[in-house]
């Protein structure tokens, strides 16, 4: 919603996590058409790294504090995202969707 308020066109993809990789690959064409991608993920925080390996645009990773398992309030996902080996990934703090939207909007509005 913040991205839309900032004047960006947004496409949302749900339930395309690492556990269902076939669902992620089914929308690969939509991912590669994007100028920037915001990925919100919890659990082990692997999704931004996977997407970063599939596209050549900036990926903004947002660790989330909700979920099940031993996520420690998002710290597990945050640390995994910070340690990603995929290039082009930046990471904002836990649950900082607004910060991710601000960065994505700045990228979208570059000439």
Query: Rounded mean pLDDT of the chain?
Result: 94
φ/ψ bin of 62: left (φ > 0), alpha (ψ from -120 to 50), beta (otherwise): beta
What pLDDT is recorded for position 101?
98
Tokens, residue 90: 């930046």
Enclosing domain of residue 67? 2-108
Q: Specify the 3-state DSSP secondary structure of 12.
A: coil
Confidence label for 71 from pLDDT (cuts 50, 70 and 90): confident
Q: Does pLDDT of 44 surpass 90?
A: no
Instruction: Tell me the pTM.
Output: 0.94
* Both tokens assigned to 52: 């970063």
Rounded-to-integer distance, Cα 29 and Cα 47, Å: 17
What are the backbone angles phi and psi of residue 41, rounded to the nearest 5°? Answer: -150, 150
Count of domains for the chain? 1
Does the structure show a pLDDT above 80 at 18? Answer: yes
CATH number of 84's domain: 3.40.50.1970
Whether the Cβ atoms of residue 94 and residue 78 lie closer than 8 Å to each other: yes
Does the pLDDT at position 66 exceed 80?
Answer: yes
């Amino acid at each position: 919603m913040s991205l839309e308020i900032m004047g960006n066109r947004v496409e949302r993809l749900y339930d395309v996590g690492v556990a269902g990789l076939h669902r992620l690959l089914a929308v690969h064409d939509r991912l590669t058409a994007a100028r920037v991608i915001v990925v919100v993920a919890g659990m082990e925080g692997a999704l931004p790294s996977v997407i970063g390996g599939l596209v050549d645009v900036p990926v903004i990773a947002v660790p989330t504090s909700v979920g099940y398992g031993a996520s420690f309030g998002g710290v597990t996902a945050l640390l995994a995202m910070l340690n990603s080996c995929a290039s082009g990934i930046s990471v904002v703090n836990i649950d900082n969707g607004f910060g991710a939207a601000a960065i994505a909007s700045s990228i979208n509005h570059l000439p």
